Amino acid sequence: MPPHRRLLATALASALLAAGCASTTTGSVATDGRSRSQLLLVSSETVTQQSMQYYNEQNAEARQDGTLITSGPEYQRVYKVMQRLVPQVATFRPDAARWPWQLVLINEDTVNAHVMAGGKITFYTGLIRKLKLTDDEIAAVMGHEMAHALREHSREKMSQSAAGDLAVSIGGALLGLGSGATQMASMGKQLALDLPFSRSMESEADLYGLELAARAGYDPRAAVTLWQKMAQLGGGGGPAFMSTHPASADRIAALQASVPRVIPLYEAARMQR
């Protein structure tokens, strides 16, 4: 490779490494206090804007379809869990306690929940009804979704994807690769980097969520029963290496190993209630 090309490639690698030396939160008890560095090339404002656009569109569609639940016993049950967890986010990042956390409950059979940047959480009734979730299990889901927001995983994933695409594009140009070779390199990047990185985020959210639930006085062992129910329903099926989520067995094992670390937090919270 000519010297000027090597210099450009080195500069790109250095810039990406420098950008990766940030972390949105402190570590979790469930992760032994470790806090992973994150690649954050995309601004929080950009991610929040995009998230709010999707969030508003989702709510408008659900409202039009008559599936948006904003009151009643089922809504209040999930909302109460969220309200107990919100004060605990300050453990990981004080600013998050001031976020405008919001809950959306949608009356659909979908077994799912998700979160938008800044604390906009969506639950689907299918998740609660089909799995017959206890309040502790709802807290496990809620903690997991809140952890995604705290760790800004959407922002990190967008940054990781942008950096990878840029590296593949520049690398192809520097090496004089044709479009076919560059496309193959991009597919390789997705299998080797994007998918495992997504699985890493899911595992991380599991552990941070475990601590959030425990600190709020919800039994962290419910995270294990939650994923046992998911496994019975078929959640987490398929080859783990091709999935953005960990295999159910791996997930359950990791949670079981981490529960003892947060049990003291749960017991202390229960004593105070």
Residues 93-103 pLDDT 10s: 899 999 999 99
Comparing C-alpha atoms, which of 107, 101, 100 is closest to residue 71? Answer: 107
pLDDT value for 187: 45
Rounded alpha-carbon distances, angstroms, from residue 261 to 51, 78, 91, 136? 33, 26, 16, 17
Residues 183-218 pLDDT 10s: 544 444 444 444 445 778 888 899 999 999 999 999
Number of H helices, E strands in the chain: 10, 4
pLDDT value for 244: 62
Question: Is the pLDDT reported for residue 12 higher than 60?
Answer: no
pLDDT value for 28: 73
Comparing C-alpha atoms, which of 90, 110, 218, 204 is closest to residue 152? Answer: 204
Q: Which residue has the higher pLDDT, 114 or 165?
A: 114
Portion of the chain with pLDDT greater than 70, in percent: 70
Question: Is the pLDDT reported for residue 154 higher than 50?
Answer: yes
Q: What confidence category does residue 30 fall into, taking pLDDT thresholds of 50, 70 and 90?
A: low
Q: Which residue has the higher pLDDT, 7 or 128?
A: 128
Q: What confidence category does residue 15 fall into, taking pLDDT thresholds of 50, 70 and 90?
A: low
Residue that the structure tokens 């604390």 belong to: 119
Residues 52-62 pLDDT 10s: 888 899 999 99
Instruction: Give the residue numbers annotated as catalytic, written as ranges.
Output: 145
Residues 125-149 pLDDT 10s: 999 999 999 999 999 999 999 999 9
